[in-house]
């Protein structure tokens, strides 16, 4: 698969996930298998204003090539300035644009998965991004639409192809579905039929390498985007590499190897947060994902999930049963799930799908989703 000048094999992309896909986690995934590994969502306003937190978030490890950054914005001019900054200052090798985030604080500003409903505004943003990207490829990630009554993915896909995007990724759920229900893989197939001229990547319900192969076979998509399936499980990318290369081999680490990976992950976060207790606190959310399916007592789980220092975390990890084998039946959903009763939108957002009005205070100055 080619994303502009970037050759990607296996055709696998790590989905941007707020609070997850920072440099330490991306490096762990890269060490397992090849692909394209995208940063957390970076707000364009915060980037052009050189917000210190945002500038820390766009740091890449020296081993990361190519470097992929995801940008979120609602105002075309601000998006254009941010993309130009990335290109001119060599901050990344690939720009992905976020039109898929379903969280209320994003959609109520008209951003993320709400934005493609405004077809002309979407086109203006994409045009500004491509015009300012220079040689960098620009891609976008989106959802099917706001809800089943307001589907936008086919129109958005055609606009993206017309404006020169290098690829499109579709999370085959609506914003209202959030992370609940079942991903509609048939929508991925319909999008591929609608825009055969550029790569289409499928996202949604890939919990194993076998799921990725089935998605490609069923939909004809050019590659896959993996999000929640790799939470606490960076070795999924080795499984994916093996699967796309025709090998049946799958990585099934014993608990000791999982514990070693957990320690490396937490240590890596200290270079992101600078203050150790902040890094360890951020790591706590990963504990349950890493230990999913393993027989670990509630007291030890609680100790690991409340550790306040690396020494406390290492002490708890040392108490794990190191030779306990990988548990069966763990290729199952991970992370948040559940649907929303409604999608929060700016007032009057659904009145006219063609207007280009940027909502007031649309541009957030906080990165990370």
DSSP reduced 3-state for 17: coil
Exposed e or buried b for every residue in 188-209, given b needs 16+ CB within 10 A?
A: bbbbbeebeebbbbbbbbbbbb
Write the DSSP assignment of 157-176 as a string of letters: HHHHHHTT-SEEEEESS-TT
Alpha-carbon distance 255 to 321, whole Å?
7
Backbone angles phi, psi at 170, to 5 degrees: -120, 115
Q: What is the number of other CB atoms lying within 10 angstroms of the CB of residue 362?
A: 18
Alpha-carbon distance 8 to 355, whole Å?
37
Q: How far apart are the first and last CA of the chain?
A: 28
Alpha-carbon distance 246 to 36, whole Å?
20
Whether a cis peptide bond, with omega within 30° of 0, leads into 115 is: no
**Catalytic residue list contains 101:** yes
**CB neighbours of 94 closer than 8 A, spacing ≥ 6?**
3, 4, 6, 36, 66, 67, 68, 69, 136, 137, 139
DSSP reduced 3-state for 146: coil
Q: How many CA atoms lie within 13 A of 91 on its CB side?
A: 26
Alpha-carbon distance 139 to 121, whole Å?
16
Q: Catalytic residue among 101, 221, 230, 356, which? A: 101
Burial class (CB in 10 A: 0-12, 13-18, 19+), 336: exposed
Any idea which residues carry the catalytic annotation?
A: 101
């Amino acid at each position: 698969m080619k994303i502009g000048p970037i050759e990607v094999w296996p055709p696998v992309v790590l989905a941007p996930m707020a609070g997850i896909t920072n440099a330490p986690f991306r490096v762990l995934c890269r060490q397992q298998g090849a692909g394209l590994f995208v940063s957390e969502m970076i707000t364009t306003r915060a980037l052009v204003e050189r917000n210190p937190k945002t500038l820390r978030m766009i740091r890449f490890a020296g081993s990361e090539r190519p470097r992929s950054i995801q940008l979120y914005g609602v105002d075309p001019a601000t998006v254009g300035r941010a993309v130009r900054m990335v290109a001119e200052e060599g901050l990344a090798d690939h720009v992905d644009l976020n039109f898929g985030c379903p969280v209320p604080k994003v959609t109520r500003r008209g951003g993320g998965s709400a934005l493609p409903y405004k077809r002309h505004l979407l086109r203006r943003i994409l045009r500004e991004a491509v015009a300012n990207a220079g040689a960098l490829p620009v891609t976008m990630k989106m959802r099917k639409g706001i809800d089943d009554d307001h589907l936008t993915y086919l129109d958005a896909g055609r606009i993206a192809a017309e404006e020169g995007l290098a690829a499109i990724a579709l999370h085959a759920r609506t914003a209202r579905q959030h992370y609940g229900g079942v991903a509609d893989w048939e929508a991925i197939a319909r999008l591929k039929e609608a825009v055969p001229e550029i790569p289409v990547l499928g996202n949604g319900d890939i919990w194993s390498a076998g799921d990725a192969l089935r998605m490609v076979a069923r939909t004809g998509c050019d590659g896959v985007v993996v999000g929640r399936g790799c939470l606490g499980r960076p070795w999924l990318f080795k499984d994916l590499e093996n699967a796309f290369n025709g090998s049946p081999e799958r990585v099934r680490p014993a608990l000791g190897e999982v514990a070693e990976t957990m320690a490396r992950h937490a240590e890596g976060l200290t270079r992101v947060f600078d203050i150790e207790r902040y890094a360890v606190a951020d790591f706590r959310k990963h504990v349950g994902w890493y230990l999913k399916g393993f027989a670990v007592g509630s007291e030890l789980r609680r100790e690991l999930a409340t550790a306040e220092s690396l020494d406390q975390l290492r002490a708890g990890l040392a108490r794990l049963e190191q030779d306990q084998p990988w548990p069966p039946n763990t290729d199952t959903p991970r992370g948040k799930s559940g649907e929303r009763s409604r999608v929060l939108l700016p007032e009057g957002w659904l009145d006219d799908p063609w207007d280009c009005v940027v909502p007031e205070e649309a541009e957030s100055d906080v990165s990370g989703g």
